[in-house]
């Protein structure tokens, strides 16, 4: 799953908040050369966790996430000795302050002593005078008492005062210090989690966020971050548990975003009823927060949250009034993009045409016009539009896509292979796959177009242009698919199963993933069961399959398994009726706890091995996967908030 824009913003603000104290102490860190200055500060103060943290923040803001993670880990490693050093410095300062206070106290005591001596001398003189006077009843006793009081004052003045480290006030300071240290360390772990999240090291990010919460449980937002890391790892049951807990403990103003994350999880799982419930809850909590202050601006804010969570169509109604009240170029451009994401292509096109192209957007508006023309079936016109974009004027993905869309496949090979092999940034993988699908569709390579658009929709089901492209591909293969299936059935009826399989292998390779693809795959896999020898892998499929096997054999972690999955998916695209590939995919999907997909592939495999000695083991595996899927569904429903 892609990273959420809102989540990224909130995490970054957390990092900046942590650094505030050190930035105040070192204003130079705010300069343009923050990284070099932070390094210099750390070199001058090697035991300062604050300097290490400031370096991490500077690196993070420069998008150097791996180095930022190293800096945060260093800050955490030196925190115990660094904070102890800070404590010693604080104690030293406290002792110096106490010494000065003691000196001041002694000065005052000496003044009191001199004053007491003076009073005693006056008393003695008074006593002498009284002795020469007639004695009054009780006069001697009173004089003696006054004399004793004066002597007591002198004795008290000479008693030294001591500073007790166990006084009530001092203990209060110690407790406050412990709380501060816990919060500082928790924020360091949050920073580390943010860097790991930016690197898509989701498990490591979760561990860092979990440590942050364990260190300072008052930071409730950490639960949201933990849930986000789990969600990106597609551990949906546990992600829902954390979101549910977050909803219980956090204030209502923070609920809408959590509800939308829950809605997105439910959409990924095909739980449409739960999606609508979560969306309604998000809107209800938002209205409660806004209350009587509801305006077009507040509706716009809610639309941005919806859009960031991939609910583009749902965002449009909340943005319309705000758009009417603003007529700036930036506003119209944003509105056009939102309309495009929601599938309202004609409306988006009118706005873009009215705006015209400017040198400042580097062909961005022109690219959108070309894509809309592509979706309208005007492929040659779209290529001309894309050709007017200078692909060298921008490093953005849309410029590279526009160049490839014009037919420059060989020149764009590096960019395309990076996306196809899952090596591009996961943050925008859904958009990259969609752009690449457009490239292949425009250049009439339907198998690769079908695979790329399927992956785009798997990552972001709410991106309507990808759904439109999928329908275009289905429409382009529909007639050929119908006639090919009829011909394959006729060949099978004559006992020529090899011809039937060969024919359907070619047609199914052009079909995007979905219910129709699954149904036809299982139906035609049954023809393989009637063949004496299963068909060999095609030359296009074999390299992908063997790479997948090699990666899986040497897998060390979940990411390796995901990399193997990518290779198997490409192998299946060119050999959709291969029992071996379906069996491997079932195993990989099960390892990743994606049981619905694993079930489909084991069903396809079972259809191809009917009547063999392998079928009993496959049936056992099928029921095991069915149990795991049912159990996961039950766990998910239990984890959903009431």
Fold: same for 342-476 and 536-639: yes
* Contact between 381 and 396 (Cβ < 8 Å): no
The reported pLDDT for the residue numbered 93 is 58
Lowest mean pLDDT among 93-107, 147-161, 485-499: 147-161
The reported pLDDT for the residue numbered 123 is 56
The reported pLDDT for the residue numbered 167 is 39
Lowest mean pLDDT among 113-122, 184-193, 201-210, 619-628: 113-122
Name, of 39-43, 84-88, 325-329, the range with top average pLDDT: 39-43
Higher pLDDT, 150 or 446: 446
Q: What is the 8-class DSSP label of residue 640?
A: S
* Contact between 379 and 442 (Cβ < 8 Å): yes
Mean pLDDT of all residues in 334-338: 91
Residue linked to tokens 């160049």: 403
Alpha-carbon span 228 to 205, nearest angstrom:
10
Alpha-carbon span 98 to 92, nearest angstrom:
10
Residue 544 has pLDDT above 70, yes or no: yes
Lowest mean pLDDT among 71-85, 458-472, 479-493, 589-603: 71-85
Token readout for 27 is 């204003």
Per DSSP, the residues of 427-448 read GGHHHHHHHHHHHHHHTT-HHH
Alpha-carbon span 555 to 563, nearest angstrom:
9
Lowest mean pLDDT among 227-236, 423-432, 594-603: 423-432
The reported pLDDT for the residue numbered 588 is 97
Q: How far is CA 116 from the centre of its chain?
A: 73
Mean pLDDT of all residues in 493-497: 93
Per DSSP, the residues of 96-154 read HHHHHHHHHHHHHHHHHHHHHHHHHHHHHHHHHHHHTSPPPTTHHHHHHHHHHHHHHHH
The model's confidence at residue 454, banded by pLDDT at 50, 70 and 90, is very high
Give me the residue spans of the domains in the chain: 1-119+173-233, 342-476, 536-639
Mean pLDDT of all residues in 369-387: 90
* Contact between 290 and 271 (Cβ < 8 Å): no
Residue 159 has pLDDT above 50, yes or no: no
> Cα separations (Å) of 544 from 446, 501, 534, 569?
18, 20, 19, 8
Question: In degrees to the nearest 10, what's the CA dihedral of 439, 442, 443, 447?
Answer: 70
> Cα separations (Å) of 263 from 302, 456, 466, 593?
15, 19, 20, 20
Per DSSP, the residues of 453-519 read HHHHHHH-TT-HHHHHHHHHHHHHHHHHHHHHHHHHHHHHHTT-HHHHHHHHHHHHTTSPSSHHHHH
* Contact between 108 and 93 (Cβ < 8 Å): no
The model's confidence at residue 400, banded by pLDDT at 50, 70 and 90, is confident
3-state secondary structure 278-294: HHHHHHHHHHHHHHHHC
The reported pLDDT for the residue numbered 135 is 35
Residue 94 has pLDDT above 90, yes or no: no
* Contact between 239 and 227 (Cβ < 8 Å): yes
Q: How far is CA 454 from the centre of its chain?
A: 23
Alpha-carbon span 236 to 269, nearest angstrom:
9
Residue 312 has pLDDT above 90, yes or no: yes
Task: Name which of 559, 606, 562 is nearest 582 in CA terms.
Answer: 606
* Contact between 230 and 239 (Cβ < 8 Å): yes
Alpha-carbon span 642 to 640, nearest angstrom:
6
Number of Cα atoms under 13 Å in the Cβ half of residue 313: 10
Residue 69 has pLDDT above 50, yes or no: yes
Topology adopted by domain 536-639: 1.25.40
Percent of the chain with pLDDT over 90: 55
* Contact between 393 and 399 (Cβ < 8 Å): yes
Token readout for 151 is 């002597």
What confidence tens digit (pLDDT) does each residue in 216-271 have? Answer: 999 999 999 999 999 998 899 999 999 999 999 999 999 999 999 999 999 998 88
The reported pLDDT for the residue numbered 202 is 92
| Average pLDDT over the chain, rounded to an integer | 82
Alpha-carbon span 350 to 356, nearest angstrom:
10
What is the sign, positive or negative, of the torsion defined by CA atoms of 608, 614, 619, 620? negative
Query: May I ask the CATH architecture of the domain 342-476?
Result: Alpha Horseshoe (1.25)
């Amino acid at each position: 799953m892609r990273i959420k824009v809102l989540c990224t913003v909130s995490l970054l603000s957390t990092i900046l908040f942590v650094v505030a104290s050190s930035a105040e102490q070192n204003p130079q860190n705010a300069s343009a050369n923050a990284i070099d200055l932070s390094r210099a500060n750390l070199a001058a103060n090697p035991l300062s966790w604050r300097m290490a943290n400031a370096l991490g923040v500077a690196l993070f803001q420069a998008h150097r996430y791996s180095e930022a993670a190293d800096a945060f880990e260093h800050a955490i490693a030196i925190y115990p000795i660094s904070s102890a050093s800070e404590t010693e410095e604080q104690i030293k300062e406290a002792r110096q302050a106490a010494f000065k206070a003691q000196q001041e106290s002694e000065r005052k005591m000496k003044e009191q002593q001199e004053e007491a001596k003076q009073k005693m001398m006056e008393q003695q003189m008074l006593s002498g005078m009284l002795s020469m006077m007639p004695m009054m009843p009780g006069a001697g006793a009173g004089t003696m008492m006054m004399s004793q009081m004066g002597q007591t004052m002198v004795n008290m003045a000479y008693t030294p005062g001591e500073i007790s480290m166990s006084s009530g006030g001092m203990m209060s300071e110690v407790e406050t210090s412990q709380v501060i240290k816990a919060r500082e360390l928790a924020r360091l772990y949050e920073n580390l989690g943010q860097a790991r999240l930016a690197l898509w090291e989701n498990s490591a990010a979760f561990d860092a966020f979990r440590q942050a919460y364990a260190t300072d449980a008052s930071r409730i937002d950490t639960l949201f971050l933990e849930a986000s890391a789990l969600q990106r790892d597609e551990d949906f049951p546990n992600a829902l548990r954390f979101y549910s807990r977050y909803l219980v403990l956090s204030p209502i103003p923070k609920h809408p975003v959590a509800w939308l994350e829950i809605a997105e999880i439910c959409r990924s799982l095909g739980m449409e009823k739960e999606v609508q419930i979560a969306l309604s809850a998000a809107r209800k909590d938002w209205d409660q927060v806004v209350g009587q202050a509801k305006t077009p601006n507040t509706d716009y804010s809610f639309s941005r949250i919806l859009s960031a969570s991939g609910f583009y169509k749902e965002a449009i109604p909340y943005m319309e009034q705000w758009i009417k009240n603003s007529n700036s170029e930036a506003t119209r451009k944003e509105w056009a993009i939102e309309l495009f994401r929601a599938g309202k292509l004609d409306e988006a096109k009118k706005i873009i045409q009215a705006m015209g192209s400017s040198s400042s957007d580097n062909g961005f508006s022109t690219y959108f016009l070309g894509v809309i023309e592509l979706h309208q079936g005007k492929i040659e016109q779209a290529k001309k539009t894309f050709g007017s974009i200078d692909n060298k004027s921008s490093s953005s993905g849309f410029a590279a896509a526009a160049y490839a869309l014009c037919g420059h496949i060989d020149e764009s090979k590096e960019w395309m292979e990076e996306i196809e092999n899952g090596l591009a940034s996961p943050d925008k993988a859904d958009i990259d796959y969609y752009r690449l699908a457009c490239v292949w569709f425009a250049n009439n390579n339907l198998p690769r177009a079908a695979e790329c658009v399927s992956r785009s929709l798997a990552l972001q089901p709410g991106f309507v242009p990808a759904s439109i492209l999928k329908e275009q591909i289905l429409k382009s293969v529909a007639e050929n698919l119908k006639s090919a299936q009829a011909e394959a059935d006729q060949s099978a009826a004559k006992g020529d199963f090899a011809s039937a399989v060969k024919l359907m292998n070619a047609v199914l390779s052009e079909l995007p993933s979905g219910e129709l693809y699954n149904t036809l795959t299982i139906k035609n896999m049954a023809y393989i069961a009637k063949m004496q020898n299963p068909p060999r892998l095609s030359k296009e499929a074999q390299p992908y399959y063997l790479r997948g096997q090699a990666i899986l054999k040497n897998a060390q972690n979940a990411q390796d398994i995901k990399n193997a999955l990518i290779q198997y998916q490409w192998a299946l695209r060119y050999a959709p009726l291969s029992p071996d590939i379906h069996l491997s995919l079932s195993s990989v999907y099960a390892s990743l706890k994606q049981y619905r997909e694993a079930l489909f592939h084991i069903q396809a495999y079972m259809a191809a091995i009917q009547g063999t000695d392998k079928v009993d083991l496959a049936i056992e595996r099928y029921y095991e996967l069915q149990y795991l899927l049912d159990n996961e569904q039950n766990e998910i429903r239990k984890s959903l908030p009431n």
